[in-house]
Amino acid sequence: MNLPEIIETRRAYVHLKGIKITRESITQLIKAAQLAPSCFNNQPWRYVFVTKKEKLQELHEAYSRGNDWAQKASLVIAVYTKEDLDCIVKTRKYYLFDTGLATGFIILQATEMGLVAHPIAGFSPKKVKRILSIPEDMDVIALVIVGKHDDSVEEEPRPERKKIDQIAEIV
Ligand SMILES: Cc1cc2nc3c(=O)[nH]c(=O)nc-3n(C[C@H](O)[C@H](O)[C@H](O)COP(=O)(O)O)c2cc1C
């Protein structure tokens, strides 16, 4: 797939089936994040890649109601960072921006590898920190739920997007 195809293919699907996630696949995903740009090259993103069955099961208790579908994940990527890992330019704090960029790279790489990579905000950061031993002073900002799309079940169509002129202007 070329980049426009990857961007078009990526969806936040909720019908997943199990797939074996290899060490090589995980390395490829981490490398995608490694090459993302960041303010002063600070690379404020941190991840835990969870593949162990027992840990994936423990994470079930951290999902918000409505995200039960995530229990089918073959891999969960916990995304975390903190403010002082990145630039603060006057009032502009870049840690969330840069971590989101790198995570976007991971999501596109996963899509290229034929996986669903669905980010969620609906979880308890407190429980995730406890289960994954993430330091208390870190902000767990998202989980990326990864699996194989179960295309035997029909998904909702892609939610409508704002019109081009609502999100951008060309001057
Ligand atoms: C930061 C963030 C948080 C999200 N949280 C959830 C969530 O808790 N549960 C969920 O099912 N989808 C969640 N999503 C997925 C969005 O709902 C989805 O990307 C959006 O509706 C657009 O659909 P599409 O990705 O299929 O194009 C989240 C996406 C992002 C980027």
**pLDDT recorded at residue 163:** 98
Find the residues whose C-beta lies inside 6 A of ligand 1.
11-12, 67, 119-122, 142, 158-159
The preferred substitution site among 99, 120, 158 for testing ligand 1, maximizing ligand atoms within 8 Å of CB, is 120
What digits encode the pLDDT tens for the residues 74-129?
A: 999 999 999 999 999 999 999 999 999 999 999 999 999 999 999 999 999 999 99
pLDDT confidence bin for 137, thresholds 50/70/90: very high
In angstroms, what is the span from residue 142 Cα to ligand 1's centroid? 10
Domains and CATH numbers, the chain: 3-153 (3.40.109.10)
In angstroms, what is the span from residue 148 Cα to ligand 1's centroid? 17
Name the percent of the chain lying above pLDDT 90: 100
* Contact indicator for 63, 70 with CB cutoff of 8 Å: yes
What digits encode the pLDDT tens for the residues 59-69?
A: 999 999 999 99
Report how far apart, in Å, the C-alpha atoms of 109 and of each of 82, 112, 146 are: 24, 5, 12
Q: Which of 19, 2, 73, 79 is nearest to 45 (CA)?
A: 79
**pLDDT recorded at residue 4:** 98
Give the ligand 1 atom nearest the CA of 69.
11
How is residue 171 written in tokens? Answer: 């001057």
Report how far apart, in Å, the C-alpha atoms of 124 and of each of 16, 31, 51, 159, 167 are: 22, 27, 19, 25, 31
* Contact indicator for 142, 79 with CB cutoff of 8 Å: yes
